[in-house]
Structures are given as structure tokens and as C-alpha cells.
Structure 1
């Protein structure tokens, strides 16, 4: 439990205050603190933006699985089903061939399903890990945010925490670059710019970068694909979430 209610705005925005008494005290403080109310609104807007950035539509194969599974759903009551499936006995050789074909198909389906399940689990684990890291920064007591418009269009939002040593970067509406170019992030402090990685190609996911220092600003430049050791263009935007 913290003695400074001002430090709880980020955690409250994420609904991450588990202590009921601490939540009550913060809400009482919030009712009379314009600074915390403003900060809470900013954190909620940022959280929503980041949540939309990591949201994904169900993969097309989900629809295929549903349609395939419909074939195995019984459509008739048991009695009518038994009548409907009553057929003249086929020759034994034909039945053996059909059984062998079905067994082979089942093996292929099982192997393919296992591969899909493993890849899906790995993707979910990566997404969950990324979300936990984002949530860790957003809920930090010293988290600060800033949003700015980029030259050429679009916006960039950052949430930084010195105690976590990390900064979350989300973008929206940045112009599409040719395959030979990429957006590169820079942490700019007293010692000059340090690369903080590249924005994803589709720019739909927030990026967690580091190491963040209280005196740092974040800049975004256009660089050759793969990035540069030092900035080669002027920053499209400079943000200081102090």
C-alpha cells in the first residue's frame, strides 16, 4: 500500500488495485484532485489505444474448423438416425478400403491439428507476455504518458516508467513506408540517441523498449530497413513524458 495516492492513477486505470481500502482511499482522493482526474483520463485513453493495438481478429481457420465440425453434429433424434443410416451391406473389401482411407485421413488431420495447436499456443503465450510487460509499465506508480503528431501524418503515444526502466510505444495512422524503409525508435538523453528498436511493419502492436531514463525523450525516424546505428533523418516526432 502506497502513502502517495497520486502514484495510483496508472494502476487504477488498469483496475489493478487489489486492496479494497487502498482503492477506496484513492477514489476519495480522486474526487478532489484535478491533477489525478486528468492523469486518469489520459491513462484510460492510452490503455484503450494500446488494447486496440494488440487486439486480433479470429484467424480464418476458426471458421473452417466450425464448418468441418458441423459434419459430425447429429441432426436427427437417435431413433430416426438409426433408420436413416440403415443401408444395404456393402462388400467387405469396400468397407476395409473405406476404413483404411478414413484412418489415414484421421492421422493426417491429427498431425495437422497438433501443429496448429502448438503454433496457436506459442502465439498466445507471446501475446500474453507482451501484454504483461505493457501492463507492468502502465501500472507503475511513476508511469507518465505523452502523445504527439508525427510529421507526414499519424500520432505516436508513449508511456514511460523510470522504475520499470521501460517505455511503451504505440502509433496510429503513420504513413506506409516502402519495404526498403522502416520506422526506428530512439531514446535520446544527455549522451545522445540510443536505438530502441523498430516499429512493427504493420504498426498495429505496441512496442516495449528500454532502457528508459528519466531524462530521456523518445524520437521516431525513418531509416533503412533493418535500422541504423545512428539516426540518418530528422525525427518525425519527439516526445517527453516527464
Structure 2
């Protein structure tokens, strides 16, 4: 139990105060402390945003698998007609069977939860690596940028660094394409065009494209899904960092 009730705001927001008396003391204090009340609202809002950021629904087949396995667990021991009339049911055996069914269901839920956790961890690690690459370019002392309107609507912005040898590309408002098409990035110099990959389908975040050289311009074309070895359409936009 702590004497500094102000320090309990974060724990209270996460429902992590186990001591009932300490919880009541804090709630009494909270009723008259506007600073703690404000911090509590902020902590709860932050916790909700973090939870939504990593939330992932369980696999749709999980519920059906759990219910199917529970249905196959015998909850009562078999009784012969002669013995059923003279011998009462054995609660201990029933409890063991029910516990076995619950344990099987718990194992299924645990296995699915571990799978979801591993998948989520891998996704977070990929995102962290991608944002480290982006931050490396944006924080470079020689970073230069350019932006332009794309034919057909939308804008494309680039930030390039010669010392990092990379270019970050971000887009906004590009028209949606059919599933058979994709936006492809190109690094273009006097020697021709080199593919720098595809823009993500949602086009919602920056990507680090290819190996950039100061002589390169960045172009965006519409190509068949999966990309092309060489541009097959005219660039929607062609940018060179200033």
C-alpha cells in the first residue's frame, strides 16, 4: 500500500490495484482531485488506443473447434440398467470428465492465442523495421524532398538521402486500381529505369524504395499486378529531390 495516492492513477486505469482497501482510498481521493481525474481519462484513452492497435480477432474456426470438442467429451459415466437403479451417480467421476472437457477447450484456446500472439509479434517486428528504415532517411543530414500531383489525381511525396542511398515515397489520394493493376515505383536516370517495388495496396504509409542515387528521378506508373520488368505506361508523376 502506498501513501502517494497520486501515483496510483495508472494502475487504477488498468484495473491493476489488487488491494481492496487501497482501491477504496484512491476512489475517495479521486472524487476530489481534478488532476488525478484528468490523468485517469488520459490513461484510459491511451490504453484503449494501444489495445486497438494490436487487437486481432481470433481465428473464425476457433469457436466451432472448441464447441465440437466439448460436445465429444462424455460428462456422465455409462450406467448399466441394473446398476443405475441401485447405485447413485458418482459426482467425482462426473467432475473429472467435465474438467477434462474444460482442459481440452482451454488447450485449444491457448494454442490459438499463442498462434495469434506469434503472428502479431512478427507483424510488429516488420513494422518496427520498416519505420526504422524510414526514420533513418528522414533524419539524414542531407535529406532532400519533393512533391507533385499525379495524373488522374492524388499526390506523391519523396524524401531522399545520398548518404543513406535510399528514398522514402509516400502517396495520398491516388485513384483506386482494379485487382489486375498496381502502382509501381521506378528509379530513372540516363541509363534507363530500375524497378523500386510496388506501392502497398492501401497506399496509406511511406515505403523505402530501392537504392537511390543523386542522379535518379522517382517515377510512378500503373502496371499489371505483380509489376513489370520495364515501365509499360507513361509515369503519372516524375520527381527529383531539390
Task: Please report the TM-score for the alignment, with normalisation by the length of structure 2.
Answer: 0.63
- SS class of match (1:61): coil
Q: Does 1:124 align with 2:124?
A: yes
Deviation, structure 1 residue 61: 2.7
Q: CA deviation at 1:193?
A: 1.1
Cα deviations by residue, 1:106-127 (Å, 9 ceiling, x for unpaired) = 1111111111111111001000
- For 1:69, the equivalent position in structure 2 comes to none
Counterpart CA distance in 1 for 2:164 and 2:56 is 37
Are 1:193 and 2:193 counterparts?
A: yes
Aligned pairs (5 A) from 1:10-89: 57-61=53-57
The aligned counterpart of 1:216 is 216
Bigger radius of gyration among the two: 2
Partner of 2:75: none
Root mean square deviation, CA, Å: 2.0
Looking at both structures, which has the greater relative contact order when contacts are Cα pairs under 8 Å and sequence separation is at least 6? 1
Aligned to 2:142: 142
Question: How big is the shift at 1:145?
Answer: 0.9
Q: How does 1:222-233 map to 2 (within 5 A)?
A: 222-233=222-233
State the secondary structure of the residue aligned to 2:57.
helix
How many residues align? The count is 162
Report Cα offsets for 1:190-212 as digits up to 9, x if no partner: 21111111111111232111211
CA distance in 2, matches of 1:57, 1:98: 37
User: What TM-score does the superposition give when structure 1 sets the normalisation length?
Assistant: 0.63
Distance 1:111 1:143 in 2: 46
Distance 1:115 1:58, change over 3 A: closer
Deviation readout 1:22-68 (Å, 9 max, x if unpaired): xxxxxxxxxxxxxxxxxxxxxxxxxxxxxxxxxx8443539xxxxxx
Secondary structure of 2:212's aligned partner: coil
8 Å CA contact 2:166–2:209 kept in 1: the answer is yes
Contact 2:195 2:210 (8 Å CA) reproduced:
no
Cα distance in 2 between the residues matched to 1:189 and 1:59: 44
Structure 1 residue 240: deviation in Å? 0.9
2:170 aligned counterpart, secondary structure: strand
